[in-house]
Amino acid sequence: LDALLHRGPPNGDVTAGLSQLRYRVVFSGGVPSSPEGLSELRIYVWLVLLGASPVSTDRYLDLVHQGASPAHDKIRDDTFRTLATDPLFRRRVTENSLTRVLNAAAWRLLDAHEARVNGWLSPPTMSLAGSPQHTTMTTTTTTTPAAAASTQSSVGYVQGMNVLAAPFLYAARSEAQAFVAFERLITSECPGYVRGSMDGVHRGLALVDASLGVVDARLHAHLMERGLKAELYAFASVLTLCACTPPLPEVLRLWDFLFAYGAHLNILCIVAQLVLIRDQLMASSSPYQILRSFPPLQANNIVAVAVSFADKIPAHLYRQIVLHAK
C-alpha cells in the first residue's frame, strides 16, 4: 500500500491503480494502523479515493483569516460536544481546530452558494497553487439585502457537520489536510446532507426503510408495526456516515470502505447494523429502546453484511441509493 501511494499506479494506469487501491484498503489487509486507529497512510488513501486535488496550505489559511463565518455561533454551539465522550478524539483534536475547519468550510459553502445565485459560470474554486480562480460573470439575478441575510443564516453549516468533520481531523496530519478531505466529501459525495433543508438525509432515511424491506421483510414489518421508521432512529447515522457511533477506530475502518466504493453505501451499512441485531429487535416488544443507541461499530462485520446485500437490491432502488445525497 505504501509503495502504491508513493509510486502511483503501475504503468500510469489510473483506473487499474484505483481498483488495486480499493481492494487493498478493504479486502486485503486494510490500512495499517495502531489500535487507536492512527495511521500515517490513511489520510492519503482517503484523499486519493475522494479525488481531492492538492491545495496550498496558504489557501486554507486565507479562509481561516477571514475569521468567524456567519454560521460561527451555530458552530460553537456544537463543537464543544463533538465526540465528547471519546478520549481518543479529545486527546488528539482541539475544539479550536474543529472550529477553524468548520468556519473555513462554511465560508466555502457560502461562496459556492453566492456563485450559483449570482449566475457565475462556476463558483470560485481552489487552484492547485492555492489562489482563487477567477470566473467570468454572465448576466445575473441579484439578491436583496434581506435575502442575503437569510441566506447567510441558512447556508454554510448544519448541525451534524461537526461530527462529520471530526474523523478527518483525527486521521489527518494537519488541519489543511483535514479541511481538503472534508470539503471534498460535503461538496462532491454528499452535498444534499449539508444543504439547509438536509433533503439528502431525508431521502437516505426513506432508503434505509426501503432497503430493509427488501433484504429482511420480517424485520422491516416488525419495526413498521411499531411505527419505527428510520427517521426516528437513524438520522444521525445517515448524516454522519455512522461517525456518531463509537468506537472511533472502527469508524475510520468503515470510512475506508465508504470512500473506496462510495459514501452512498452507508445506507446499506445502516441496514447491516439492524440485521446484525435482528434477534434482539425481533424479540423485543419495544425495539426503539435498543435503537436509541446503536451497538458499538464492528466495521468488518458491517461491511461483509452490507456487501452481501448489493445483489439483492433492485436496480431502480440501488440507483436511488447512489444518487440520494447529491
Query: Mean pLDDT over residues 241-253, rounded?
Result: 98
Rounded Cα distance between 230 and 228, Å, is: 6
What whole-number percentage of the chain has pLDDT above 70?
Answer: 87
- Per the domain annotation, does 232 fall within a domain? yes
Please state the three-class secondary structure of 290-311 as a single string: HHCCCCCCCHHHHHHHHHHHHH
> pLDDT-derived band of residue 120, with 50, 70 and 90 as boundaries?
low
Specify the CATH number for the domain of residue 172: 1.10.8
Between 305 and 134, the higher pLDDT residue: 305
Largest CA distance in the chain: 63
**pLDDT above 70 for 132:** no
What's the domain count of the chain? 3
Are 292 and 309 in the same domain?
yes
Are 318 and 266 in the same domain?
yes
- Per the domain annotation, does 164 fall within a domain? yes
The β-bridge partners of 126 are 132
Name the residue range of residue 202's domain: 191-325
Cβ atoms < 10 Å from Cβ of 323: 12
Are 218 and 277 in the same domain?
yes
**pLDDT above 50 for 153:** no
**pLDDT above 70 for 247:** yes
Pull the grid cell for residue 200.
439528502
